[in-house]
Amino acid sequence: MDLQSVQDLKGVLRSDFFHGYATAAAQVEGAWNKDGKGQSIWDTFAHTPGKVKDGSTADDAVRSYDLYKEDVALMKSYGVNAYRFSLSWSRIIPHGGCDDPVNEKGIEYYSNLVDELLRNGITPFVTLFHWDTPQALEDRYGGMLNQDKFVPDFVNYARVCFERLGDRVKHWITFNEPGVYTLAGYAAGVHAPGRSSFRDRNEGGDSSTEPFIVAHTELVAHGHVSRLYKQEFQPHQQGTIGITLHGNWSEPWDEANPLDQEAAERAREFEIAWFADPLYKTGDYPASMRAQLGDRLPKFTPEESKLVLGSSEFYGMNTYTSFFVKHKTTPADINDHKGNVEIHDSNKQGVPRGEESDTEWLRAAPWGFRKLLNWIWSRYQMPIYVTENGTTAKGETTATPGVLNDQFRIKFFEGYVGWALARAVKEDGVDIRSYFAWTFTDNWEWAAGYTDRFGCTFIDFDSPDKTRYPKQSAYYLDKLFKHLIKDS
């Protein structure tokens, strides 16, 4: 694990830089119906035949609900100083609603986890919503399609979390990747709740309108929860609150063609600025989106715009890869959500976007990560917390010495952290304050089931205790951050 390539970067990251791993409740906890937990839309989705690639469910996942103490000890051995995890809304309020009872066993689990982290010197970063809407709310009123009913329920849930955990949790994230939840769940229909215009895939839904309705609900709900926290809890709890957005870098297919340059910028706006402009820049959606979508894109009321703009105290950033983007000459399809562009794996010169992982869409492209960091910093001027970044690797099916010595992942981190992130700080002046690798252990990767292994810890899914096997990438990251972070 040679750090030769980063010798000149010793101490370039701030002394209070957070580094660790990110997870999501539905992907790691298991105990899907234990101790009073209610059903989520992902429980429903996973138990519907044909929805998950390998036919699996997250009923057990990796059993972090039962094994959290062992997991915290393992994380500590990896040298982390922070852990980003999500709360299961239906574990805390089984039916989700503001008039529904709180499940004390659920609160107890998260309270114990927070205490265990703090005892081990690990700072908790807590995400309120990582895609798992309580099924009861979906049944009652269609979940996020009904903003008027969803917002009070989400605000109540957040209040319970702030009241019960906020004395110890100082870093809050409202929504994880609202755009991915929206596009995969309501445009493509391949994630829960499984809605789209494609009747061969989904029984209901409208890909041309519902994603934009749901996205608007998420932004407004975030704004209300942020205002609640700042007014009622922040003065005495002294924490911070924000949101985490997804977004990959879009590069012009032909860098000399102004139309491709415009297409790449439009793709970035449709993917990232869709949420980030209302939050950090204008209080409204990008003009490029309004031009293509017209009245299918909701309009912010003056009150909503004021509520949302400035509501996130940092830029939470999840990113994985980069794509080449080419302009289209034909009119946009009514179900298009990308800005009417073509997406390519190679550019006009035949240069590929990056080395292949074990996941079709994900290729290692640190060059794009650095460009994206600069684009976000330039456009929004907000401190950036990298809240997810990582990769799968080919051939990781059994815990052999070769698999555990995961050189592909180590090379990925070397490029993304040791080159792109660290040099963006040192040479480009970007304000970056955290890096959370995705992910701590192999997990249940949504509709991909157990076929996508992102973990820096290999999991034997066939063993009763989901036996953990550390990979070398975990120790490499520890060594890398010890070098990059300034001594306090």
- Would residue 381 be called left, alpha or beta, if left means φ above 0 and alpha means ψ between -120 and 50 degrees? left
pLDDT digits (tens, 9 = 90+) for 294-323: 999 999 999 999 999 999 999 999 999 999
SS3 267: helix
Q: Is 265 a catalytic residue?
A: no
pTM above 0.75, yes or no: yes
Judge contact between 469 and 457, C-beta under 8 A.
Answer: yes
Give every CB contact of residue 42 below 8 A, 6+ residues apart in sequence.
Answer: 26, 58, 131, 132, 192, 446
Of the candidates 138, 388, 396, 414, the residue annotated as catalytic is 388
**163 catalytic, yes or no?**
no
Q: What is the pLDDT of residues 25-48, one digit of tens each?
A: 999 999 999 999 999 999 999 999
Using one digit for the tens of pLDDT, what is the confidence trace for 183-224?
A: 999 999 999 999 999 999 999 999 999 999 999 999 999 999
Residue range 247-259: average pLDDT?
A: 98
Provide the terminal-to-terminal Cα distance of the chain, rounded to the nearest Å. Answer: 25
Whether 90 and 131 have beta carbons less than 8 Å apart is answered as no
| Average pLDDT of the chain to the nearest whole number | 98
Q: 149 is written with which tokens?
A: 């009913």
**Given pLDDT bands bounded at 50, 70 and 90, which one contains residue 5?**
confident
Among 29, 177, 218, 414, the one annotated catalytic: 177
Angstrom distance (rounded) from CA 97 to CA 225: 15
How do residues 61-100 score in pLDDT, each as one tens digit?
999 999 999 999 999 999 999 999 999 999 999 999 999 9
Residue whose C-alpha is closest to residue 416's, from 358, 373, 360? 373
The pLDDT value recorded for residue 1 is: 59
Give the integer Cα–Cα distance in Å for 196 and 183.
9
